[in-house]
Structure 1
Amino acid sequence: MNYAQLTISNPMTKAITSCTVKRESRQSLFITHKWQYLCLHVPLRVGVVLLALASIPMAAHIPSVGEGGRPSLAPVLNQVKDAVVNISVTTRQNYRITWWDDWGRLNPQRQYRDVQAAGSGVIIDAERGLVVTNHHVIAQAQKVVITLQDRRTFDARFLGSDPTTDIAVLQIEADDLTDLVLADSEVLQVGDFVVAIGNPFGLGQTVTSGIVSALGRNQVGIVNAEDFIQTDASINPGNSGGALIDIEGNLIGINTAIISPSGSSSGIGFAIPSNMVRTIAEQLIEYGDINRGQFGVRIEPVTQAVAEGLELSTNNGVVVTEVIPNSGADQAGMRIDDVIIAVNGKEITNSADLITTIALLRIGQQFDLTVIRNGREEQIEGVVQEFQKGNEILPGISVANMTSSHPYYGRIRGVVVSAVDSRLSQSNLVVDDLILEINRKSISNIRDLESIDLEDRPLFLRVLRGTTQFRLIVR
């Protein structure tokens, strides 16, 4: 098993500098909003990419311009590029300076400085001035300035953000805007041509092209609710929040992250599909937050051993290991050893599929589950219920003890983040994070929190997210 270095490049999450991650290959995961671009040398290969694109026989329709019908993306880009904006973020970073005074004593002093960062965004409603971007681009921002392609600048108003899906919505007051309508990402197929537009390395608007490499990517470890479009279109630090469009100029995704050993593009980029963006953005615009519910089951993936034990013909789906009493699942008649294989007709192949699907449903919304019970396929109607928050330890952050069905139960001690209200929380914690330590004191259960002054600042947290441990400072 190799180890890789995980770098969170957003200066606003400065407490998470780096940590060691077990991976099958020596790669580093970089959130694509990064400001250390001055020390990077990135050869520009846009011409090579476009040349290769033009020389391949294409089934998709490509606009033509000029005599001889020269293949070009220019006609499409001229219609959409003004909808992609540059985002400049100012955050307040504090640090400690310590020196010896005249009496030989250590004299620590806290200093503050403003840190500048850059990202991208997409105008999705020109009339109302609504701009969608990534949560990690604007998290903990003191000031956000949006620059249009005609060089006009506007202070942005924060409407809401969702760390679970890494989506945020801003608003500006401006006239003569161009917007991109969110298309239906369900019609995408692997092999479709796509174009990425953004602000890599703070250079200004840049266009790159490629194809859809994969769909429905999850278990990547970037956020909790993952259903990414994977593309080989060149995406670099600063592209976060930018547009991924199809060959006809439809907005089909918001660029979010890359996997790379160097921090720059290596042909593996991820975008949030437009259908997820639409669902989350509508709630953020209306309520300023995502009020998620729960169904009330504990689940595990269907392994080969589970499939054999339950006499299943496939390894797809998730098996129910616990039904929470009085929950929506309990009321719907769910049972232990039920295997969930689809929700609203959408196939469920693993735990991440189910988590993401339920995370996008609203409280009170009904949905249809397809389950295998005792070897027979059955249909069950479920309802999303309000999440029971439990114990609030920080503004907007609630925790609960680990249950026996938790995958880390008995192996790691800690408390589980059970609910996050992004309107109140400034900690960058997300649901299902495990808090292992606070101020260097190990946390085994909620009772251990009673001996810690949670009002004191800063708080030093050690957190486990998936398979990744990192330090987090709450100020």
Structure 2
Amino acid sequence: MTRLTVLATAAALALVSAAPAVAQAPRQAPATRAEVQLSFAPVVRRAAPAVVNVYGSRVEQVQAHPFFDDPIFRRFFGDRGGQGRQGGPQRAEVARSLGSGVIVERSGLVITNNHVVENMTEVKVALADRREFEVDIVLRDPRTDLAVLRLKSPPSDLATIEIGDSDALEVGDLVLAIGNPFGVGQTVTQGIVSALARTQVGVADYQSFVQTDAAINPGNSGGALVDMSGRLIGVNTAIFSRSGGSHGIGFAIPTALVRLVVESAKAGSQTVRRPWFGGRLQNVTADVAESLRLARPTGALVVSVVPNSPAARAGLRAGDLITAVDNQAVEDPDGFGYRFGVKPIGGMASIAVTRNGRALVVPVALEPAPPGGQDAITITGPSPFAGARVATLAPGMADELRVSHRSDGVVVMAVEPNSAAAQVGLQPGDVVVGVNGREIAKPDDLREVTAQRSRLWRFQIDRGGQIISSMLGG
């Protein structure tokens, strides 16, 4: 080693030794009583009084003995008058549901999940202080899995919760879930926002859920997800679990959707008025992204546009790629449905589109779909369609029944319980395409072709874009 090298090495070592060491904060115990008592209790005191328990019940007829479910047993004893469709004596049984809800208005408005009160004929709520009240069901919205209840005699000291802005949430924010899991009583769990804009959860049509690791269990449905200011930022609705218990993956409906449903209820509407887009969308796959020369597969691709719809009048066309709504990014068709669907009726929405590699911003009118169902009829007579209420498929009905993949045909709007149509498995949203070789274009076509008995029924049903062909004996 040369003298010069030795001097350089010594100088470097001197510089290192002279550099100040990186200071590390000393670990220490809490120094004050306030630091020891850091707690979520103030948030809970603010929010918990507005969270209620929701109890639903209905009376249904069931077989008095399980033997009567056995077809061999029924063969010997047969159906007897007044003993029910399946034979054998029946008894009344009370079916019950249990969930949670959140008081959002001093007038007594309570928001909960639709599946908590679905098919229930009597619903009550119990406040946090155990007072119970009967309620009216003001609005049900299966598409968002939300329902609005109203206390029949709300007290003057009714606690409410402030509705916060779910769009302001960030992953990592602290949240509390408040509800009544397993019916044990009001319970609070703590966690963080695990993810935002979760789709493909499968519990509602408008999907952009807040995901949280705060423990959510059966009975929490309809309860509150609150931020650290005690504001409602989501309604707990589902868990991802193989055992029925919480595995740290829970989902809440964001308050952007909650506001839409609450405002519809306050306006006296029994349904939620949503803007109609009028276009069919699909996911962008890796192959589609490559063909469009996209850096990654994202956005909602326009497949078709309904004539004279808001999308058509805005100039949108097949092949357009929707990337944002009012400057809020769209990752997939579910994301677009949420962003566009929560907009209030009236005015315009700015839709960011990529067309042939060019970026465009297209204004789309926010207006409801044209009404349909004016020609609805209920099919009677000796056919498999007896008990089905059908109508010409109008654009508004296609959107509401989620059959926007087609704009023609006769759609099943409702099916009477225990009817022939129910027994063959017809469902709301099914589109009747043909019966016994005859094309069905309007309700009268179906009524005429089913008015006479037939030894054999052949029919085609469009269900979710798939044609189902069936054959039944008359």
TM-score (norm 1): 0.71
- Structure 1 residue 312: Cα displacement: 3.1
- Alpha-carbon separation, structure 2, partners of 1:209 and 1:152: 26
Output the CA distance in 2 between the equivalents of 1:396 and 1:366: 35
* Matching residue of 1:377: 359
**Whole-Å separation in 1 of the counterparts to 2:124 and 2:298:** 46
The Cα shift of 1:212 comes to: 0.6
Contact 1:218 1:226 in 2 (8 A): yes
Structure exhibiting the larger radius of gyration computed from Cα positions? 2
8 Å CA contact 1:280–1:360 kept in 2: the answer is no
Query: Which secondary structure state, in structure 1, belongs to the residue aligned with residue 340 of structure 2?
Result: helix
> What secondary structure is seen at the aligned counterpart in 2 of 1:386?
coil
The partner residue of 2:432 within 445, 450, 453 is: 445
Measure, in 2, the Cα distance between the counterparts of 1:179 and 1:397.
42
- Which residue pairs with 1:26 in the alignment? none
How far apart, CA to CA, are the structure 1 residues paired with 2:423 and 2:350?
45
Indicate how the Cα distance of structure 1 residues 416 and 246 shifts in structure 2: closer, same or farther if over 3 A, else same: farther
Cα distance in 1 for partners of 2:182, 2:291 equals 52
Which one of 69, 89, 105 corresponds to residue 78 of structure 2? 105
Tell me which protein shows more strand as a share of its residues: 1
Q: CA separation of 1:336/1:133 partners in 2, compared to 1, >3 Å: closer, same or farther?
A: same
Alignment partner of 1:366 is 2:348: yes
Q: Secondary structure at the match of 1:294?
A: coil
| Correspondence for 1:130 | 109
Shift in Å, 1:264: 1.1
Q: Aligned partners of 1:360, 1:65: CA distance in 2, in Å? A: 47
SS at match of 1:86: strand
CA 252–159 in structure 1, closer or farther in 2 if over 3 Å, else same? same
Q: Answer with 101-110 or 148-157: which moved more.
A: 101-110
Question: Hey, what's the Cα distance between the residues in 2 that align with 1:182 and 1:466?
Answer: 39
Q: Does 1:144 align with 2:123?
A: yes
**TM superposition shift of 1:195:** 0.6
For 2:251, give the aligned amino acid.
F
The correspondence of residues 128-277 of structure 1 with structure 2, limited to 5 A, is 128-172=107-151, 173-277=154-258
Distance 2:142 2:232 in 1: 21
Q: What whole-Å deviation, never above 9, does each CA across 1:287-343 have from its counterpart, x for those lacking one?
A: 121133422111221222222223334321112121211111111111221111111
1:120 counterpart letter in structure 2: S
- 1:60 is aligned to none
Give ranges in structure 2 of 5+ residues lacking alignment.
1-24, 26-30, 81-86, 379-387, 436-445, 452-460, 467-474
Matched residue of 1:78: which SS? helix
AA aligned opposite 1:299: L
The residue correspondences of 1:220-369 to structure 2 (distance < 5 A) are 220-286=201-267, 287-369=269-351
Which has the larger helix fraction? 2
Decide whether aligned partners of structure 1 residues 397 and 277 sit closer, same or farther in structure 2, where only a CA change above 3 A counts: farther
8 Å Cα contact 2:431/2:463 also seen in 1? no
Distance change >3 Å, CA 141–CA 268, structure 1 → 2: same
Identical pairs, percent: 38
Distance 1:415 1:299, change over 3 A: farther
Amino acid at match of 2:328: K
Give 3-state SS (helix, strand or coil) of 1:149's partner: coil
Separation in structure 2 between the aligned mates of residue 224 and residue 114 of structure 1, nearest angstrom: 30
Deviation larger for 379-388 or 76-85: 379-388
1:338-367, Cα deviation, whole Å (9 max, x unpaired):
111111111111011112223223444421
Distance in structure 2 (CA, Å) of the matches to 1:463 and 1:144: 36
What one-letter code is carried by the residue in structure 2 that aligns with 1:359?
Answer: G
Alignment of 1:66-105 (within 5 A): 68-97=35-64, 98=68, 104-105=77-78
- Give the 3 Å change call, closer, same or farther, for CA 190–80 of structure 1 in structure 2: same
SS in 2 for 1:266: coil
Gaps of 5+ in 1: 1-56, 58-63, 429-436, 454-461, 468-475
Q: Which of 1 and 2 has higher RCO (CA within 8 Å, sep 6+)? A: 1
C-alpha change, 1:235 and 1:399, in structure 2 (3 Å) is farther
CA distance in 1, matches of 2:218, 2:351: 39
Match of 1:36 in 2: none
Evaluate the alpha carbon distance shift between residue 327 and residue 354 of structure 1 in structure 2; reply closer, same or farther with a 3 A threshold: same
- Measured at CA, do residues 102 and 387 of structure 1 come closer, stay the same or move farther in structure 2, by a change above 3 Å? closer
**How many residues end up aligned between the 2 structures?**
377
Q: Give the conservation status (yes or no) of the 8 Å contact 1:400–1:446.
A: no
Contact preservation (8 Å) 1:324, 1:330: yes
Shift of the 463–130 alpha-carbon distance from structure 1 to 2, 3 Å rule, reads farther
Q: Give 1:96 deviation, angstroms.
A: 3.9
Judge conservation of contact 2:322–2:351 (CA < 8 Å) in 1. yes
Q: Secondary structure at the match of 2:110?
A: strand
Aligned equivalents of 2:227 and 2:389: distance in 1?
38
Does the residue aligned with 1:178 lie in a helix, a strand or coil? Answer: coil
Residues 169 and 285 in structure 1, CA contact (< 8 A), matched pair in contact too: no
Contact 1:369 1:382 (8 Å CA) reproduced:
yes
**Residues 212, 232 of structure 1: 8 Å contact kept:** yes
